């Protein structure tokens, strides 16, 4: 999952980025309205954390322009303006949530997690395929109830696949979810993550498998009864 943070305070931005990366998210960071709008046009973010007071204007303008373009990305506004009128103005402009500064970073993470449960009309806080479960609130994976720790990017790949069980997820879509603007992407990076994710799922006894759809991408499907998922393929 990929999130955009729009915050010009370097110290606060560093705290937010570190906290969001710790829960397995890919995070881009910009500091201005024009940069935020350019990023939102270029990438299909799953959430945006947006400071209201930016060097080149009011962050509410970003919200309005995204909504005017029929963008549905969940947006959390951050602001030193805690008065009711300001909060109402932000929400009326199309923001999904509003957090007054100063705030605890743990609360921000909880609110971002809540926003990430909304896309795609999800009604459950848990994704599942076979005996594999992914708790969106805690970003924890279990196999038959047993925890399966995964590296951040493998976790992100699995979440992409579990949000689209039975449907093909293209390689570019996976790359977009895994890597921010400043991160270098090797030509076979997705294949490598898929390979190790398959290995981890198989070793944990998962009854879900990742199928390669040549020329299209990858799909997570329940394994047939008695079928082994232990395939060291790309």
pLDDT digits (tens, 9 = 90+) for 123-164: 456 889 999 999 877 788 999 999 999 998 899 899 989 988
- Smallest CA-to-CA distance from 191 within 221, 159, 157 is with 157
CA-to-CA distance for 200 and 194, rounded, in angstroms?
Answer: 10
CA-to-CA distance for 78 and 97, rounded, in angstroms?
Answer: 9
Report the percentage of the chain scoring pLDDT > 70.
91
Would residue 227 count as lying in a domain? no
Q: What is the pLDDT of residue 6?
A: 97
For residue 12, the enclosing domain spans 2-119
Residues 87 and 160 in one domain: no
Residues 102 and 141 in one domain: no
Domain boundary pick from 119, 143, 176:
119
CA-to-CA distance for 14 and 53, rounded, in angstroms?
Answer: 17
Residues 152 and 115 in one domain: no
Residues 148 and 107 in one domain: no
Is residue 214 within 8 A of residue 171, CB to CB? The reply is no
Domain boundary pick from 119, 143, 168:
119
Domain boundary pick from 119, 139, 155:
119
Q: What is the pLDDT of residue 123?
A: 42
Residues 134 and 49 in one domain: no
Q: Tally the domains of the chain.
A: 2
CA-to-CA distance for 51 and 119, rounded, in angstroms?
Answer: 22
Q: What is the pLDDT of residue 233?
A: 47
> With b meaning 16 or more CB within 10 Å and e meaning fewer, what string describes 140-174?
bbbbeeeebebeebbbbbbbbbbbbbeeebeeebb
CATH of the domain at 183: 1.10.10.10
Would residue 46 count as lying in a domain? yes
When the pLDDT of each residue in the chain is averaged and rounded to a whole number, the result is 87
Handedness of CA 54, 57, 58, 64 (dihedral sign): negative
Query: Is the bond preceding 102 in cis, omega lying within 30 degrees of 0?
Result: yes
pLDDT in tens, 85-108: 777 878 888 899 999 888 999 999
Residues 6 and 115 in one domain: yes
- Candidate from 11-20, 114-123, 124-133, 182-191 with smallest mean pLDDT: 114-123
Residue 139 neighbours by CB distance under 10 Å: 19
Q: What is the pLDDT of residue 225?
A: 64
Q: What is the pLDDT of residue 214?
A: 86
Span 186-191, average pLDDT: 85
């Amino acid at each position: 999952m990929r999130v955009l943070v729009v915050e010009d305070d370097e110290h606060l931005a560093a705290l937010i980025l570190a906290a969001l990366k710790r829960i397995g998210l890919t995070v881009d960071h910009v500091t201005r309205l024009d940069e935020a709008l350019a990023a939102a046009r270029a990438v299909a973010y799953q959430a945006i954390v947006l400071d209201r007071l930016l060097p080149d204007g009011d962050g509410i303008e970003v919200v309005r322009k995204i909504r005017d373009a029929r963008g549905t990305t969940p947006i959390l506004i951050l602001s030193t303006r805690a008065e009711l009128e300001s909060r109402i103005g932000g929400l009326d402009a199309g923001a999904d949530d509003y957090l007054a500064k100063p705030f605890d970073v743990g609360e921000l993470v909880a609110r971002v997690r809540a926003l990430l449960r909304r896309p795609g009309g999800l009604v459950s806080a848990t994704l599942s395929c076979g005996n594999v479960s992914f708790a969106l609130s805690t970003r924890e994976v279990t196999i038959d109830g047993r925890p399966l720790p995964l590296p951040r990017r493998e976790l992100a790949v699995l979440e992409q696949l579990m949000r689209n069980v039975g449907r093909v997820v293209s390689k570019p879509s996976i790359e977009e979810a895994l890597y921010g603007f400043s991160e270098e992407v090797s030509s076979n990076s997705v294949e490598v993550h898929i390979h190790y994710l398959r290995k981890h799922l198989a070793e944990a006894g998962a009854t879900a498998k990742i199928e390669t759809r040549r020329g299209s991408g990858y799909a997570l499907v329940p394994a047939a009864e008695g079928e082994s998922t232990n395939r060291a393929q790309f």
